[in-house]
Amino acid sequence: MFSDPISPISLSYLALGDSYSIGEGVDDAARWPMQLASALRADGIAIAAPRIIAKTGWSTDELAVAMDAVEPLGKWDVVSLLIGVNDQYRGHAVDHYRASFTRLLQRAIALADANPRQVFVLSIPDWGVTPFARAELRSPRRIARELDAFNAAAREACIAHEVAFVDITPVSRELGAQPDMLVEDSLHPSAAMYAQWTRLALPVVRELLAKIGSV
């Protein structure tokens, strides 16, 4: 199922999400799934560049429709999921997000050969700290409160399904207002912020791969 790291056969990686996974405003190599794959290869783990199914503006429901459109997706060695900011932005209820996210999580597990230990989830970053949010006259406290509820729902679903959950929200709040952490639109993360997410995800993914005997 999994290749030896010295084998010419690389692990396959599918990244599911929205603007944060497609890397709105950054070069392809700067996207966090690309940075993660590069970091894993630097650690001696043979993993291919990820296939990314993501688009700026997608909600959980829109990601599900997009996945339907490209089925069959086959089986993947590693699957990541980061989705939900557009649900919050549009005012969707947390119960709707919980149900929709859970369905996506179950699909991600199925795509990972029904092994939840081959799946990991990143939390939704807090865009309320950005200049874009201030320009829209959005309440940072309200955004933070709503995102905390969404992330709690996602974490609960991950626990229930035995999927690793990587919490990137604190670093987004700590550094997300800094100009060098944002692209020109003052909303989406820069390569430097994606590097912070990669730093947090890397040990989690390494541990997952070690548990299933790929490293």
pLDDT single digits (tens) 91-108: 999 999 999 999 999 999
DSSP at 72: -
The band of 136, judged by pLDDT with boundaries at 50, 70 and 90, is: confident
Q: Percent of the chain beyond pLDDT 90?
A: 91
Domain that holds residue 188: 13-211
What is the pairing mode between strands 51-54 and 13-17?
Answer: parallel
- CA-wise closest residue to 16 among 150, 110, 147: 110
Per-residue tokens: 90: 């549009």
| Residue 7 included in any domain | no
Residue 6: what pLDDT? 40
| Residue 56 included in any domain | yes
Spatial distance between the Cα atoms of 123 and 20, rounded to a whole number of angstroms: 11
- CA-wise closest residue to 127 among 186, 197, 83: 186
Q: Which residue has the tokens 């690389």?
A: 10
- CA-wise closest residue to 35 among 6, 56, 13, 57: 13
| Residue 8 included in any domain | no
Spatial distance between the Cα atoms of 147 and 174, rounded to a whole number of angstroms: 15
| Residue 109 included in any domain | yes
Condensed to tens digits (0 to 9), the pLDDT of residues 30-58 reads: 999 999 999 999 999 999 999 999 999 99
| Residue 142 included in any domain | yes
Condensed to tens digits (0 to 9), the pLDDT of residues 144-172 reads: 999 999 999 999 999 999 999 999 999 99
Say yes or no to pLDDT of 26 above 90: yes
Say yes or no to pLDDT of 1 above 60: no
From the number of C-beta atoms within 10 Å of its C-beta (0-12, 13-18, 19+), residue 137 rates as exposed
Mean pLDDT computed over every residue of the chain: 94
| Residue 5 included in any domain | no
Between residues 5 and 160, the one the model is more confident about: 160
Q: What is the pTM of this model?
A: 0.93
| Residue 75 included in any domain | yes
Number of domains in the chain: 1
**CATH code at 148?**
3.40.50.1110
| Residue 1 included in any domain | no
